[in-house]
Structures are given as C-alpha cells and as structure tokens.
Amino acid sequence: MTNRGWARFFARGIVGILFLMAGWWKCFELTPLGHTQRFFLEAYAGTWIPVSLLWATGLTIPIVELVAGGLVVIGLRTREALIALGFVLLTVTYGHTLIEPLFSTQGHIFPRGLFLLAALSLPAEEDRLSVDSWLGGRRRAA
C-alpha cells in the first residue's frame, strides 16, 4: 500500500472511531431521546428553529454518527458515510455558532473535520484495507 493509502486508512480509522464512539455514547448511554432533550431542545429553545426540526435533528444525529462512523471504520460505502458525517459537522457547527457566534471549533469540530477531509480527499483506490477495496477487487475478478 502506498503512503497515500496508509494516510487515508489512518485518517479514515481516526474519524470513524471518533464518530462511532460519539454515536455509541449518544445511542446507548445518553439515548437519542436524552441527546435531543439535552443538546437540542434545551439549548435551542429560544432560537428560530422549530421544535419539530430540533426533535428530528436531535434524534437523527446519534444514529448517523453511530452507523456512518462504523461504516467508515470498516471502509464500507466510505464516501457516502463521510459525506453524511460532513453534514453532521455542518449542522453542529451551525448550531454552536448560532448560540455563540465566535465559538471556537478547535475542540471537536476542527479535528474531526480535518480527518474527514483527509479521508475524503485521499484516493480511495490506494486504501487497500477497506471493505470497499475488497468488494471492488471481487467485482473486477468476476
């Protein structure tokens, strides 16, 4: 595997684990209902965002993080999963800056975004340690 392949593998693994574990905590410890209550309904009650959208977003984000994070870790449908996680980061960034316009993204948004962009930008065909690569090889052999 090339250095770019290893770089994509490590970036994919890091960002996948970060989102998988965040989703795990939000789904199985906090619960999607608790996540919605704590991080959406309470935090954004005084904003323009309708309560129905807060519910929908708050319940969806933990599941997307869990599923897409897991897919990224194993390298299955990696592009689609990374794009889904990119939308989660956009949503979180908007939410934080809606409450605090000069919010610092250094805590969790910037590192996740950096690894996500690296994994998305580096050539997928050079990442041989993924289910996508394995399935692609099987399709070519058939």
What is the band of 90 on the pLDDT scale with cuts at 50, 70, 90?
very high
* Average pLDDT in the chain: 93
Average pLDDT over residues 111-121: 96
Which residues, 6+ apart, have CB-to-CB distance to 75 below 8 Å? Answer: 12, 127, 129, 130, 131, 132, 133
In a domain, 66, yes or no: yes
Residue 100 is predicted with a pLDDT of 86
Total number of domains constituting the chain:
1
Q: Give domain status of residue 141, yes or no.
A: no
Residue 8 lies in a domain: yes
Instruction: Please check whether residue 30 lies inside any domain of the structure.
Output: yes
In a domain, 142, yes or no: no
Instruction: Domain of residue 8: give its range.
Output: 3-136
Q: Averaged over 79-106, what is the pLDDT?
A: 91
Find the mean pLDDT for residues 41-70.
Answer: 96
User: Distance between CA atoms of 57 and 46, rounded to whole angstroms?
Assistant: 16
Q: One-letter amino acid identity for 39? A: F
Cβ count within 10 A of residue 58: 22
